A and B are shown apart, each in its own frame.
Chain A
Amino acid sequence: MICILHISKLDKYFDNLHALSNVNFDAQNGRILGLIGQNGAGKSTTFHSILNFIKYSGEITWNGKHIDEKAFDEIGYLPEERSLMEKATVQQQIIYFAKLKNRKANWTKPRIKGWMKKFDVKGELNSKLKSLSKGNQQKIQLICTLIHEPKLIILDEPFSGLDPVNADLLKQSILEAKDNGATIIFSSHNMNNVEEICDDLVMLRNGEVVLNGSVQDVRNQFGKNELYVTTPMSKDELQQLPGVLSVKIRDNNKYMLDLSNPDAGVELFKLISKGKYIEEFSQQPPSLDEIFREKVGETNE
């Protein structure tokens, strides 16, 4: 079954600020969509519109229907600002939020331990939330977002505040949810995370969609202008070669060359390898990070 979060002609003004203008995109089940954009681009505002927190113009549907209280049961939402109840224990907190998703306490209870293990939470079921470290509290909140097995998962900056190991744990869970057929949409500043797990990508700039498509398509759109090589040649020598705009040193003997056009690669391969074995010669489209910077740069011009 195909489940689609459909957003069309989404428009939102805050007084005179045009926070979102004509935003259109779809998110599909079994796929992960990354919503990227600078601070203030309108990512959270998009989520708030989906969840009906604010009034908007345009149309947002989940499986063809408006999102109402019934649909909420299928949604798992992680807000941008994290926090949990002041006095509750881990178990109380998770059970309460699950109840609000129509999951009875005795449905939730036996599942908590497993989730805590999955996220490697340091703490007990009846630990006070206050006594947990910030990262562990955040994991509890992630568990609250996911435990009721939502079909539409909306995560606002889920990776912020997690160390790389824990970020990986989160990626695993997101991928698991994807395999279970959920529709996942999350916002992030970290393009590596997006690159690693996202299938689709939407980039907002000042409330407008500037990129929309699968991650591969978006990258290819920009041409394979990046060349990763490992060679004993020096930076200066590489700089002299035809079609090379700039050279960055990545490591000992490892460089990243910026090409004037993708076709320059053919000639460069001959010049660098000199007909011998070469450890690395890989021509790639720009990383999302670079695309991001480039797209952001366009506004500042």
Chain B
Amino acid sequence: MNKFKAIVSETYMNQVKSKSFIALLLMPLIFIIIGAGAGYISYSNASSSAEQDQVAIVGDSSIKKSLVKLDGDSIDSSVKTEKQAQNKIKSDDIYGYVKMSKNNNKIKAQYIGNDYLDSDVKHDLMQTLSLKQNELNISNGGLTKDQIQKLSNKPLFESHIEKQKSENSENNDNGIKMASLQTLIFVLYFFLIMYSSVTASTIAKDKGSKIIEVIFSSTTATKYFLGKIVGIILTLITQLIAYLIMIFAGYKFLSTASFSKDIVNESSDTIHQMIGNFININLAFIVLGLIVGIILSAAAGALVARKEDASKSAQPVVMITLLLFLLSIMFQNNSNSIIPQILSYFPLSSCFFMPIRMINNQANIFEGIISLIILIAFIIGLTYFISKVYKGLMLQNSNEGWFKNLIKGVKYR
């Protein structure tokens, strides 16, 4: 036990005191400062930047002209065609447009937009249209029954709301989902890459420098292997706790600072829902995923022959991580197809895909637990297997690429 503790604390202290670790700890602080800065700048600009509150009128320039006289501010008079109007909606310059047309001497106004038409504009529009329709009716001649009926023709107003910008619950849910997925994939990817190289290189250094011979003349390979892993996991936990404290403190600060509190409070629901997406079984997947990454990297580190190759030693794990990263980006919006379904049970990829499917509400808690059990069993089996062959992996010295080294190492003893 003493020896195990010695290995754990040596590994931990070495990591925590390293410059790169301290730099990493400061990173979110820098993010928060940049974020706050950006928030502050956009806040001070907010008053001057005009909100998109204009509509366009297309299809009849005389109606447009009379409307511009009435509601000049609310109408973007530069728009002439429907195409232009559609483009301007896309670029958020206007929130909608009214398309005028004539059919059977009837004036028709069709409104297409992201938001309801401003009621003042609508009122003025209707008045102008009535006038125009009247003119039209009169110019159409005699006052037969037919004509009276024509006189009673009212302009038609149709409203099509395509996409609403305001707080609509379903849309907001989607936003939270997307943000959660992106956070999940990014966090897993980032930490996996970082910790696989940290783990692999510390072990590769021990191996390449032959310090391992002194260690293996003192303790068992299993204790060394587990000690290294625990040391690295403690480093990871330290970093996560530091990040959480910083994020929490940053959140508290931003939600009270005058320039940002409105934005933060407005989105506090979103933030809470996002956190809710992680403080559940998904957290177990993230943590266990990182642990699998660390275990595999500890094996990968044992597969290089020279100290100089330590920095490349994590390559096999980095490649797997990259592949999973790309797959999850590919399937994040299509996570119920057969491939992600399979991947969400397969031990390694499940750390990415089960949470993705859970966030997308495509897997229930039981499926999650089954996948988690598979993952835990895999971790236990993997740890057992690697600790059995670890002595051979660490002591064999051939340098024929990681796969051949693995085979040789397994057969070594």
Contacts and interface: CB of A to CB of B under 8 A. Distances in A.
Secondary structure at the B interface, as helix, strand, loop or mixed, is: helix
Interface string B194-238: 000000000001000111011111111000000000000000000
The 7 closest A-B pairs by CB, nearest first: A100-B218, A99-B6, A77-B217, A79-B213, A83-B209, A81-B210, A55-B413
B413 A102 contact: no
Interface residues of A, number: 27
B139 interface: no
Contacts of B214: 77, 79, 97, 100, 144
Interface in A68-102: 69, 72-73, 75, 77, 79, 81-87, 96-97, 99-102
Contacts of B6: 96, 99-100
20 contacts: A51-B216, A53-B213, A53-B216, A53-B391, A53-B395, A54-B412, A55-B413, A77-B213, A77-B214, A82-B210, A83-B211, A84-B209, A85-B209, A87-B14, A100-B6, A100-B7, A102-B2, A104-B2, A144-B214, A154-B217
- Of B205, B216, B391, the most chain A CB neighbours within 10 A belong to B216
Given A54-B412, A86-B205, A87-B14, A100 B215 contact: yes
Interface in A43-76: 48, 51, 53-55, 69, 72-73, 75
Contacts of B205: 86
B215 A85 contact: no
B3 interface: yes
Nearest to B3: A100
B367 interface: no
Contact of A84 (B3, B211, B218, B219): B211
B73 interface: no
Interface of B: 2-3, 6-7, 10, 14, 18, 205, 209-211, 213-220, 391, 395, 412-413
Contacts of A154: 217
A72 B3 CA distance: 12
A54 B220 contact: no
Nearest to B218: A100
A101 B219 CA distance: 8
B207 to A, nearest CB: 11
A96 B10 contact: yes
Interface in A137-185: 144, 154
Contacts of B2: 99, 102, 104
Contacts of B220: 69
Contacts of B209: 83-86
- Of A87, A100, A104, the most chain B CB neighbours within 10 A belong to A100
B228 to A, nearest CB: 13
Nearest to B2: A102
A102 B218 CA distance: 9
Given A54-B412, A83-B210, A85-B211, A99 B3 contact: yes
Given A54-B413, A96-B6, A72 B210 contact: no
A79 B210 CA distance: 8
A154 B213 CA distance: 12
Given A54-B412, A96-B10, A99-B2, A69 B219 contact: yes
A100 B5 CA distance: 9
A89 to B, nearest CB: 12
A87 to B, nearest CB: 7
Nearest to B208: A83
Nearest to A75: B217
A79 B205 CA distance: 16
B200 to A, nearest CB: 15
B3 to A, nearest CB: 5
Contacts of B412: 54
A154 B218 CA distance: 13
Contacts of A55: 413
Nearest to B215: A100
